[in-house]
Amino acid sequence: MMKQELDGNLLSPLPVILVGAMVKDHPNYLVIGYSSPFDFGRYIFFSLYKKRYTRIGIHENRTFSVNIPSENLLAQTKICGSKSGRNFDKGTLFDTFYGELKTAPMIRQCPINIECEVTEILDYDPNEGIIGKVIKSYVDPQCLTDGKLDMRKVHPIIWATGGDFNYYRLGKRLGQEDGKTD
């Protein structure tokens, strides 16, 4: 079979996340398309362009939140990805709540929320790599099946980073540990 060479990273699709941070004592949210858990989910990494407004709060407070929006938040997510917090109050788009970390604003409408403390910031101009330790995770109870997270109930927005750069929805589960499909 012949393969065709394509430019870029094809490790895709990935869930869209809304990163929250307190900037000048006000919640702000930023869309991130490339993120990654590592060390068995104890840490989260994402890359951030140094000119982003949310970066100010991440550096000041050394905390941030990761919020996974569902499909019904696509319009608000697009706004967070197209407007800067310098000129638009993105905090008004959502009902914000706080957990253990008082400087990591989280979005109540998102089915999954994660509080993180910054452990390292990697400089690779013009971007930074932000590494955060997961402090607490929260989930809407209706997204659980038998006490476990069921991503089909979350309805996350999926971003095709290595393809046509569009939003998608999660598909059908292919199988389970016991071999059953649904």
For residue 175, tell me if it sits in a domain. no
Q: State residue 101's pLDDT score.
A: 96
Stretch 36-48: mean pLDDT: 95
| Confidence band of 9 (pLDDT split at 50, 70, 90) | confident
Q: What is the DSSP string of 99-141?
A: -SSTTS-EETTSSEEEEEEEEEEEEETTEEEEEEEEEEEEE-G
**Lowest mean per-residue pLDDT among 42-51, 148-157, 173-182:** 173-182
For residue 132, tell me if it sits in a domain. yes
pLDDT > 60? residue 181: no
For residue 180, tell me if it sits in a domain. no
What is the percent of the chain with per-residue pLDDT over 90, rounded to a whole number?
78
Q: What CATH number should be reported for the domain holding residue 34?
A: 2.30.110.10
Average pLDDT, the chain: 91
pLDDT > 60? residue 179: no
Domain extent, residue 121, equals 14-169
For residue 1, tell me if it sits in a domain. no
Stretch 32-48: mean pLDDT: 93
Tally the domains of the chain.
1
CB 48 within 8 A of CB 57: no
pLDDT > 70? residue 163: no
Q: State residue 171's pLDDT score.
A: 80
For residue 9, tell me if it sits in a domain. no
pLDDT > 90? residue 169: no
Q: State residue 6's pLDDT score.
A: 74
Q: State the distance between the two ends of the chain, measured CA to CA, in whole angstroms.
A: 31
Tell me if residue 154 falls in helix, strand or coil: helix
Q: For residue range 59-85, what is the model confidence (pLDDT) as tens digits? A: 999 999 999 999 999 999 999 999 999
The pTM score is 0.91
